[in-house]
Amino acid sequence: MNYKVPLALVLISVSLYYFLSPASPLSDTQLTEHLNDKVVLICGASSGIGEELAYQLAAHGAKLVLVARSQDKLDKVRVELLDRGTIAGNVMTISFDFSDVSGSKKVVDQTLEKFGALDYLVSNHATMAAGPILALPDLHTTDYIENIFRVNLFSHIELAIHALPHLEKRKGHMFFTSSILGEVPWYMASIYTSTKHAMNGFFYSLQQELLARDSPASLTVGIFGLIRTKEVDSQFPDKTPFYDWTIGSLEGCARVMMEAFVTRSQTVTFHKLAGVTYRALWYFVPRFYHDDMIEMTKPFLYSPEE
């Protein structure tokens, strides 16, 4: 097969998106003017993207409600925030496991009890289900699969439903952290990938519904690739098949999220070059996913005997 045409289409797509997409027009001063004294609920705030976002928001004067399963980790984030000069009364932590889908409403209720308002919801929590499902029988159980969907999809929907009336009162905004795996396949995480595909389908549809009803609230779907968190570094040590160009910085990711609060972008991709490249490869060179990526990653999952 001649790959000159699809490869040319990939290069054209990447070039147009990457070079013609406008840079963010927002300065630190503009962010502070917009975020100072705003109430932000961050779910999945004890590490990684959520933790970094908390530090950056606090630097711009936001009031924070931080949610995660581990109270110990949340306490460490809180201590770090106070060490950086955040006023103690501007930070609240809630230990909560989002596999309790119906209990998600309590997170919104506690935010309102503390601050009396809600300006931004950051629905960032997720649980990873890694590994090829046919090779790992533990991934086959109904309880396991349902738990992943409860955390990665159903709890986000519940949060949106319960937060929306309060966000509309403040002309607020929601940010839902999805993944490039919500747009392309990856056999090494098929259950996780399916939750992100479903998440994109629901929240892009919800965007349309908000527009149809002229809602004063809005939402962004964040399409993230690999972000250089401690968890990613531990999962992909020296043998990683990925290269530095495919991994975005934690600081840059949090900045993009804050800017979306102001610009109210319907979607943001981070980091942009990797995300657009993966999309273009999927549409124009599907062999990359069905042959090349499998060959690159198979040695890390299957032993020669298998």
User: Using CA atoms, how far apart are residues 140 and 142, in angstroms rounded to an integer?
Assistant: 7
Q: Name the active-site residue from 120, 187, 192, 278.
A: 192
Nearest Cα neighbor of 163 from 202, 209, 125, 219 is 219
Beta bridge partners of 115: none
**Spatial contact of 149 and 192, defined as CB atoms under 8 Å apart:** no
Cα angle 181, 135, 293 (rounded to 5 degrees) comes to 40
Active-site annotation holds for 192 = yes
User: Crossing angle of helices 142-149/190-212, nearest 10°?
Assistant: 40
| R_g (Cα) of the chain, nearest Å | 20
Which residue stretches of the chain are H helix? 4-20, 28-35, 48-59, 71-83, 104-115, 142-149, 155-169, 190-212, 230-235, 250-263, 272-284, 287, 293-297
User: Using CA atoms, how far apart are residues 303 and 292, in angstroms rounded to an integer?
Assistant: 18
Positions annotated as catalytic residues are 192
